[in-house]
Amino acid sequence: MEKRFVDYAQYHALVDKVLANVQQANFHPDVVVGVARGGLMLADGLSRGLPSPMAVVMASSYREGSGTQQGQLRISSSVASLSPLQGRVLVADDLVDSGRTLAALLQHLRVAHPGITEVRSAVIWHKHSATFQPDFFAETLDHDLWIVQPFEVRDFR
């Protein structure tokens, strides 16, 4: 599979683009939830730029084939947060591939945290073929490629 390496300058410009999209939509989340691992840097940037507190959830469906093939979704049993998840929530992840993971995670959060009144999603990359449309994103990918984010280079030496 083709790989696209993104450096820190490119990455921060993409985070700023997502942040601008959220601000232009006049969405003011009560908390930004970062999906570990790939969504943590985006969540941090959004949390600082909006400003809103940040929480963290673990969710993964990419464990097969050395982490390159989608398998069964696993979601952490708790969310790391200083206060209960409630109100307006913005879930940040790195990319929407098929869309199944993020759609299932949003549904899980709504059920597990009934105080949530609105949940939206933000990603850096959105694959054109995805079945789920995130609310905010920086780029649409027209073909299948593997993004190597600047903090993932140890995985691809």
Q: Reduced to 3 states, what is the DSSP secondary structure of residue 32?
A: strand
Give yes or no for a contact between 79 and 57, defined as CB atoms under 8 angstroms apart.
Answer: yes
pLDDT single digits (tens) 101-152: 899 999 999 999 999 999 999 999 999 999 999 999 999 998 888 898 888 8
pLDDT single digits (tens) 3-25: 899 999 999 999 999 999 999 99
Global pTM value: 0.89
Say what the pLDDT of residue 61 is. 74
Q: Reduced to 3 states, what is the DSSP secondary structure of residue 96?
A: strand
Q: Could you say which of 3.90.550.60, 3.40.50.720, 3.40.50.2020, 3.30.1370.110 is the CATH number of the domain covering 3-156? A: 3.40.50.2020
